Amino acid sequence: MPALVLTVRHGDNIAAITLFILSLIQLVQHRPINFSLKTKEKILILSLILLPIVIAFDVLLRDLRVRYLDYYLRFILVIPIYFALRQVKVSLKPFFIGILLGAIGAGLFAIYQTMFVNSHYVHGYIMKINFGNLSLLLGVMSIFGLFLLLNGGYKKTLILLCLVAFGFGLTASILSGTRGGWIALPLFISVFLFYFPAKKWQKILSFAVLAIILIITYSSNAYFKSRTDSAYHNVSTYLYSDGLKSANSSEGVRFELWKAAWIIFTEHPIFGIGSGQFNGALKEKIEAGKIPKIQIFDHAHNEPLQILVTTGITGFLSYIFLYAGVSYYFYSSLSISSTYKIRYLSTLGLILVCGFLIFGLTNYSFGHQVMVLFFSVMVVSIAGMIRSMELEESA
């Protein structure tokens, strides 16, 4: 999945379908399946199925189009991948190499599109916001590979490769211009420095080096600087100017969409207005003069608000439980007795969750198939490998 998602057309589908089929074959060949689950596993499974169930009731009871349920079903369909991985002996090498290839491939693809296609529309094969966010996430996942290399005694060449992959992932994100994902960088760096097995002075030095890299990037890259400065200027204009000027900037439009979403939610707080109904409700608020005339979108460009609007508090609680349950699984695996491989996978899982939470603040990530597939497949893959190693360790 990490190797194909950004570098091959329909790579997310290819990876997900392949993993799903192989998992079913594995489960059929090694019956009966062991359904004796630990508490954290039960919480993980429940967190994956609860939100799709809420969306299913929303679609069926309101007689909405089934396509609004389509993406969320992926959270249930990936569960066999978890059960297949937890009962086999796994190797981290393909997964680790796949992350490096995905980050480097994204960077090279972004450079190619910048130089030969369209320097202001770098997107790979998917929407540019998703391309930039996933590129950044793969880049950060690459540098987390140092958890493995410094403990496993690998060659210095691979350590350098992790740093190069991080650079390419960051480059792809910068060239895509997706500013919303950049606010996740401080959190990624904090998690890395907190869990990285190094001395205090080494962590301080690492932080200083990363800070210098970002400062140099900001100072030397005109596009990165202009995108960052314009975001600050647009937000300041919206918050402190007499005129809203919402139609003149993407930030202003988002603020107005968020305002509209909150108004709509307060009018339908328990069960929301239903999936796919946001654009109609937004038009009504504009016509009523509660929101300035802005471009009509079919979502609020904010995932928590979108869930609140469409499914109300009921859906929002299941959405929070999705992230809380997955986070609990990974965090509980970060025990003192865990091996460095389990700690590596657990921290990867945590930054995956943190990344998607932050990406969702400025975009409706789960409204795009590539994001749903990447998140769900990576969650069950990482979780399945962790449980496999835990079972092997206890045996």
DSSP string, 27-82: HHHTPSP-----HHHHHHHHHHHHHHHHHHHHHHHTT--THHHHGGGHHHHTHHHH
| Residues 122 and 131 sit within 8 Å (Cβ to Cβ) | yes
**Which contiguous run of DSSP H or E holds residue 83?**
helix 79-86
pLDDT in tens, the chain (395 residues): 999 999 999 999 999 999 999 999 999 998 788 778 999 999 999 999 999 999 999 999 888 888 888 899 999 999 999 999 999 999 999 999 999 999 999 999 999 999 998 877 888 899 999 999 999 999 999 998 888 877 665 577 888 898 899 999 999 998 988 877 888 888 888 888 887 776 776 667 767 777 777 777 667 666 666 656 565 565 566 666 655 554 566 777 888 888 899 999 999 999 999 988 888 998 998 888 888 888 888 888 899 999 999 999 999 999 999 999 999 999 999 876 678 899 999 999 999 999 999 999 989 999 999 999 999 999 999 999 999 999 888 87
Quick one: how far is CA 254 from the chain centroid?
20
pLDDT in tens, 325-364: 999 999 999 876 678 899 999 999 999 999 999 999 989 9
Locate 100 and state its tokens.
């490096």
Q: Please give the pLDDT value at position 237.
A: 61
pLDDT at 239: 60
Q: What is the pTM of this model?
A: 0.90
CA 6, 8, 10, 13 dihedral sign is negative
Rounded to 5 degrees, φ, ψ at 295 are -65, 140
Is the omega angle on the peptide bond into residue 32 within 30 degrees of 0, that is, cis?
yes
pLDDT at 336: 62
Q: Residue 268: what are its φ and ψ, rounded to 5°?
A: -140, 65
pLDDT, residue 264, reads 93
State residue 147's pLDDT score: 82
